[in-house]
């Protein structure tokens, strides 16, 4: 499957038949990012959030960059030529107030935040963000071919909306 270039400033819908397509979507998003961007990855366990983040990070670092899931560390950091990427997995947060210890507001000035399980931020979430929801396709929109659907929705002031 080949994905065509698109703008992350506009809502988008993609059918992703496999993990490789999910990683390619991340790679297409990557060059459009800039410091201060917040990417929120939504979806249940096993829906491809980490695969999308891995594709995005490898597109901005090196193709063989090790990108472990930050499930236990909460945050993994990667340097690119233009900015730092903070890949966060907030699944283990039990209270939104725990996010203060991560220093996300300060990091945002020089980094791109890629957040798995952003709902754990509760009232501390970001208004200006790109939401990417990974879900099982609705057979009215896509034939029952398996894979996932990715819905991209910019919110707030993300890219001047």
Q: What is the pLDDT of residue 2?
A: 55
Confidence of residue 115 (pLDDT cuts 50, 70, 90): very high
Number of CB atoms found within 10 A of residue 81's CB? 6
Q: Could you say which DSSP state residue 105 is in?
A: H
Tens of pLDDT along 116-128? 999 998 888 899 9
Q: What is the pLDDT of residue 71?
A: 77
The owner of tokens 């029952």 is: 144
- C-alpha–C-alpha distance, residues 63 and 123, integer Å: 36
User: Counting beta carbons within 10 angstroms of the beta carbon of residue 120, is it exposed (0 to 12), middle (13 to 18) or buried (19 or more)?
Assistant: buried
Q: Which residue has the higher pLDDT, 138 or 113?
A: 113
Tens of pLDDT along 26-82? 999 999 999 999 999 999 888 899 999 999 999 999 999 989 888 778 889 999 999
Tens of pLDDT along 129-160? 999 999 987 766 555 567 889 999 999 989 76
pTM of structure: 0.90
Which structural domains are found in the chain, ordered by start? Answer: 12-160 (3.40.50.300)
Adjacent-strand bridge partners of 130: 39, 154
Q: How many residues does the chain have?
A: 161
pLDDT at 107 over 90: no
Geometric angle at alpha carbon 26, from 25 and 27, rounded to 5°: 90
| Phi/psi of residue 100, nearest 5 degrees | -55, -35
| Span between the terminal Cα atoms of the chain, in Å | 30
């Amino acid at each position: 499957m080949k994905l065509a270039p698109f703008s992350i400033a506009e809502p988008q819908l993609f059918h992703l038949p496999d993990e490789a397509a999910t990683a390619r979507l991340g790679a297409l998003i990557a060059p459009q990012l800039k410091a201060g961007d917040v990417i929120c990855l939504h979806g249940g366990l096993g829906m491809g959030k980490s695969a999308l983040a891995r594709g995005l990070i490898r597109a901005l670092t090196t193709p063989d960059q090790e990108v472990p899931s930050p499930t236990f560390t909460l945050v993994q950091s990667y340097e690119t030529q233009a900015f730092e990427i903070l890949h966060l997995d907030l699944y283990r947060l039990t209270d939104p107030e725990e996010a203060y210890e991560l220093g996300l507001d300060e990091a945002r000035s020089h980094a791109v935040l890629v957040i798995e399980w952003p709902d754990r931020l509760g009232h501390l979430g970001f208004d200006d963000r790109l939401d990417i929801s990974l879900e099982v396709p609705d057979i009215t929109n896509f034939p029952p071919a398996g894979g996932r659907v990715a819905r991209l929705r910019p919110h707030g002031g993300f890219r001047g909306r």
